[in-house]
Amino acid sequence: MSKKRVLAIHDISCFGKCSLTVAIPIISASGTECAVMPTAVLSTHTGGFTGYTYRDLTDDLMPITEHWKTLDIGFDSIYTGFLGSFEQIGIVSKIIDDLRLEDTIIVIDPVMADNGVLYPIFGEDFPGEMRKLCGKADVILPNITEAAMLLGEEYVTGPYTEEYIEGLLKRLGTIGAKNIILTGVHFNSGHLGAAAYDVRTGAVSYSFHETIPGYYHGTGDVFGSVIVASLMNGLDLERANGIAVDFTAESILRTRNAGTDVRFGVDFETGLGKLIDQIREGRE
């Protein structure tokens, strides 16, 4: 398999292990090059910290793209996460149009909400604009709150029924994305995981891990980065989902056992060796 190159479009939260500080090491460790387009630079992520700095890089995104267009470079995947402003969604949509090749896999994580609540830095019009961006994706990675917001539906708390989850997946299938991986799926309090849905075939598969109590930051980005790393290594969506659920849960468990502040991100680094072995085995 030829060496792959991903473009990760996320913020840099300098402390707190999420977005680019998670995507770069995970994607690189899997043997795939990870180029970056930083959407903003923050001293920390916004989850649970106060007084963080925020430098918006919206004005830099198109000049970076224009420069790259003068170079002979292409991307096998474009992976977007936290976008710093409403305006950035439209700009990122244009960047995808400008930089995508015929086979570029577009992975969009509509980072904007959790636990029924839109992140306070985003306005009420954000989900509608994010829905348009998701329409361009080969894979979208919403959690259940984001899924409800993309659809303009009320957020429902779990545990869920299979009927509810598969209904949500089908309705998400009308947005235009080809595949959906829905995170935060649980049918009981003991297991938490994600559902993978192929819109064209209607196939749904699930992957679960034992629930680990607590709310740990940056786990969506750990999960998404493993999905991208797995897809770039030729794994299918179901296998990628299984590996990403296990890797994320094991990272959370190590962090919980260490008693680390939940805002500081999860210990994913210790799991990288095993991750690479699993991706390699999945490829064989």
Site string for ligand PXL, 192-221 (x = CB under 6 A): --------------------------x-xx
Q: How far apart are CA 32 and CA 29, in angstroms?
A: 7
Smallest separation (angstroms) from ligand PXL to the CB of 76: 23
Residue 271 binds ligand PXL (CB under 6 A): no
Distance between CA atoms of 24 and 11, rounded to whole angstroms? 12
Residues 6+ apart with CB under 8 A from 211: 186, 189, 190, 191, 192
Per-position x/- string for 111-150, each x denoting binding to ligand PXL as judged by CB under 6 A, each - no binding: x-------x-------------------------------
Strand pairing class (33-44; 54-56): antiparallel
Find residue 118's DSSP bridge partners: 113
To the nearest whole angstrom, how small is the minimum distance from the Cβ of residue 3 to ligand PXL?
Answer: 28
Per-residue tokens: 125: 């019009």
Query: Smaller CB distance to ligand PXL: residue 19 or 207?
Result: 19
Nearest approach, Cβ of 128 to ligand PXL (angstroms)?
20
* Neighbouring C-beta atoms of residue 71, cutoff 10 Å: 7
Q: Does 183 bind ligand PXL (CB under 6 A)?
A: no
φ/ψ (deg, to 5) at 208:
-130, 160
Half-sphere exposure of 162 (CA within 13 A, CB side): 3
CB of 45 to ligand PXL, least distance (A): 4
- Which spans of this chain sit near ligand PXL (rule: CB under 6 A)? 11, 13, 18-19, 42, 45-47, 82, 111, 119, 218, 220-221
